[in-house]
Amino acid sequence: MREDSSFCKFCEGKRRSFHFHGIRKGGRTLPLSCAFFLKMRRKYLLRIRKKGGLACPFFFEERKKERPAKIAGIAKEFRGLGGKALRMMSGTRIAGRFLDGIQDAVPIAIGYIPIALTYGFIAKSTGLSLGECLLMSLFVYAGASQYMALDMIGKHIGSLEIIFTTFIVNIRHFLMSASLNEKVEKDHPLKKAIYAFGVTDETFSVAAVKNEKLTTLYMYGLNVLAYFSWCLFSAVGFIIGSNIPGVFQDGMSIALYAMFIGLLVPSMKKSGKVLFLAGSAAFLNSFFQFYRIVSPGWSIVIATLAASVFVEYVFWLKRKRGKVRNG
Amino acid sequence: MDSGYVLLIIGMGLVTFLPRAIPLTVLQGIKFPPFLQEVLKNVPYAILGALIFPGIFFIDGENVLLGIIGALGAFALAFSGANVIVVVIGSIILLSAVSALI
């Protein structure tokens, strides 16, 4: 688009004022700002905004049909002035900034406090040094497997077995990472590998229920605060040990579950499919764990996969039947 | 530091990192069939359900009362349209109050 001169190539250079065009691509409509617009100065932009924006009528028509969040997601694909203006005009916030990530990580950071404190305390009573306790939080950064490892160290179980069990417990991250991959922007694999380290149940949940496409910077922001909270409070837990007030422990133990509920309910209110998904996965997971059919690590993976596939199949059948009826 | 523990931690770190990193780095640019794409989009909501239940009932060990109260409180707050952070802080306050009373 940029290589063009100061003429709009979509209207063959007829219009010199600010406008957008929509083009259809794979079932969705992409607004395209013209080359002319991309070259415009800020001064010019402001003047146009004052006038209420002389956008191509086709674009506005399409815009009404699409959800604002979707527009913002599309707008993000445009870099520079064009993208900025599009975002400004669509009037939606996009999850693009580092600070947005930090902000969204606050509930996670709070939720990690009791778990990390308890972890630090147990590490101390298991016989780990402060350095080892902190090193595990820094390197492994996975609550459930760290607890499990401490338990196994306490029972003098061999390292290889602990590592293998850790792998089993964390296999669900594979599923999360694959799902997250559909939502994040394309970037260098090395940059993605860095934030992939921060994928936990909690950071994944926060990121995955966002409506927008996620930028790498957002993911960094989200992970930095959560990671910091986890590591800091692991060490604090080790140092203050059993002096954690009981009432505080009781109250805080709900934090992460409350966060999961707070993330799930808004989508559940909007869509029956979400209710169906969460309900069936919750039922399956409870069933597996109650009857001890599989270990808790596998239980979550199997319940999630089974629910996701089953619900999608039901909706697929429904759509197919709907099509037959309409056709 | 005990070198045995350090080796254990490095090993654990590695087997935790690999499942996290492989899909995000390797799958980039690969287009899945639509059905599989939809399944992957379903995963977040299903996993939230599995993470909440049955874990929430056992926040106070075997005594499920506190978990049930917490779950009801959090769901009520969330259904009233409260922000995530409000749900979290509200639930903490509720549960602290209840456990202080019991």
Q: Which residue of A has its CA nearest to B40?
A: A179
CB contacts, 8 Å: B96 with chain A? 247-248, 250-251
User: What residues contact B11, with CB distance under 8 A and at least 6 apart?
Assistant: A159, A163, A166
SS (HEC) of chain B: CCHHHHHHHHHHHHHHHHHHHHHHHHCCCCCCCHHHHHHHHHHHHHHHHHHHCCHHHHCCCCCCHHHHHHHHHHHHHHHCCCCHHHHHHHHHHHHHHHHHHC
Residues listed for chain B: 102
Residues listed for chain A: 327
Q: Which residue of A has its CA nearest to B77?
A: A262
CB contacts, 8 Å: A312 with chain B? 35, 38-39, 42
CB contacts, 8 Å: B2 with chain A? 129, 132
Which among A105, A98, A103, A133 has a CA at the least distance from the CA of A231?
A133
- DSSP 8-state symbol, A66: S
CB atoms within 10 A of CB A140: 23
Integer Cα distance of B93 and A248 in angstroms: 10
CB contacts, 8 Å: A173 with chain B? 16, 19-20
Mutation target vs B (from A211, A250, A267, A310; most B CBs, 10 A cutoff): A250
Tell me if A262 and B87 make a contact (CB, 8 A cut-off): yes
CB contacts, 8 Å: B15 with chain A? 163-164, 166-167, 170
Minimum distance, in Å, between the CA of residue A31 and any CA atom of chain B: 22
* Predicted-assembly ipTM surpassing the 0.90 threshold: yes
User: What residues contact A43, with CB distance under 8 A and at least 6 apart?
Assistant: none
CB contacts, 8 Å: B23 with chain A? 174, 177-178, 180-181
The answer to whether residues A23 and A45 touch, using CB atoms and an 8 Å cutoff, is: no
Minimum distance, in Å, between the CA of residue A210 and any CA atom of chain B: 10
Minimum distance, in Å, between the CA of residue B33 and any CA atom of chain A: 12
HSE-up of A172 (CA within 13 Å, CB side)?
28
Integer Cα distance of A70 and A29 in angstroms: 10
- DSSP 8-state symbol, A243: G
- DSSP 8-state symbol, A279: H
Cα pseudo-dihedral A92, A220, A117, A160, rounded to 10:
130
The answer to whether residues A181 and A190 touch, using CB atoms and an 8 Å cutoff, is: no
Integer Cα distance of A14 and A20 in angstroms: 13
**Closest to B50 (Cβ–Cβ): which among A128, A174, A285?**
A285
Minimum distance, in Å, between the CA of residue A51 and any CA atom of chain B: 36
Integer Cα distance of A325 and A92 in angstroms: 38
Q: Walk along chain A (327 residues) and give the pLDDT tens digit of each residue.
A: 333 333 444 454 444 444 554 444 444 444 444 434 444 444 444 454 454 444 433 333 334 444 454 555 555 544 444 555 555 544 444 446 788 899 999 999 998 988 898 899 888 888 899 999 999 999 999 988 898 888 888 888 888 888 988 888 888 899 999 999 988 988 899 999 999 999 999 999 999 998 888 889 999 999 999 999 999 999 999 998 777 776 677 777 888 899 899 999 999 998 899 999 999 999 999 999 889 888 777 888 899 999 999 999 999 998 888 766 654
User: What residues contact A16, with CB distance under 8 A and at least 6 apart?
Assistant: A6, A7, A8, A36
Integer Cα distance of A63 and A41 in angstroms: 24
Instruction: Please write the tens of the pLDDT for every residue from B45-91.
Output: 999 999 898 889 988 877 889 899 999 999 999 999 888 889 998 99
The model's pTM: 0.71
Tell me the CA distances in angstroms from A204 to A4, A73, B23, B84, one per residue in order.
Answer: 41, 19, 14, 15
The answer to whether residues A141 and A116 touch, using CB atoms and an 8 Å cutoff, is: no
**Closest to B92 (Cβ–Cβ): which among A136, A252, A273?**
A252
Q: Which residue of B has its CA nearest to A267?
A: B45
